[in-house]
Amino acid sequence: MLPLSLWLFLGAAWGGVGVASSPSPPFLTNDSFTHLVPRHTLFFRQAANLQSFQGTLGGTEASPITQSGDSERPFSVDGDTFPDFDSAAQRSCDNQAQKCKDKANSKGKKGKRLEVGDCDAQRGKCLDAQKSATVKDFQKGVASVNIGKDESFPDFDLICDA
């Protein structure tokens, strides 16, 4: 008798017969045409969150800037919608700063003391990151530039997002 784990593995290998699993994502194109897919395209999975700031002072991340589905107010931050990227970016950074300040003002802090001024400084960095963001909407891709061969791996080119 085969163990259950082997049955599940074999079931998945045979096309999921008797195995519950999530569906595979759709292919963008047939493998023989992969070379024709534009390399400068920003795919949906990359544009799911336009928030580019990665700072996490106090353990709080900036709220994601996601697509709301409303063409008049396409940007969403923590359930609120906005007509433009700049407003959404400001709210995202403001929400992060508020959460950071709440932690700075809480009792029972351990380790290095978190100051409200530190949270304000992080808010400024977050806003600066959003002002210089290369992607500010869900409709356009990111322009890519081929900067030449990789010296360590000459079979590969180096591609930079503008």
C-alpha span between 86 and 4 (Å, rounded): 53
Q: pLDDT-derived band of residue 45, with 50, 70 and 90 as boundaries?
A: very low
> Is residue 78 one of the residues assigned to a domain?
yes
Q: What is the pLDDT of residues 60-86, one digit of tens each?
A: 999 999 999 888 999 999 999 999 999
The per-residue DSSP string of 8-68 comes to: HHHHHHTTSTT---PPPPPPSS-GGGGGGS-TT---GGGSS--------GGG-PPPP-EE-
> Is residue 84 one of the residues assigned to a domain?
yes
Instruction: Write the DSSP symbol of residue 100.
Output: H
Q: pLDDT-derived band of residue 9, with 50, 70 and 90 as boundaries?
A: low
> Is residue 15 one of the residues assigned to a domain?
no
C-alpha span between 56 and 11 (Å, rounded): 43
Domain span at 80: 46-161
> Is residue 22 one of the residues assigned to a domain?
no
The number of domains in the chain is 1
> Is residue 6 one of the residues assigned to a domain?
no
Is the pLDDT assigned to residue 27 strictly greater than 80?
no
Is the pLDDT assigned to residue 51 strictly greater than 60?
yes
Please indicate whether residue 153 or residue 11 has the higher confidence score (pLDDT).
153
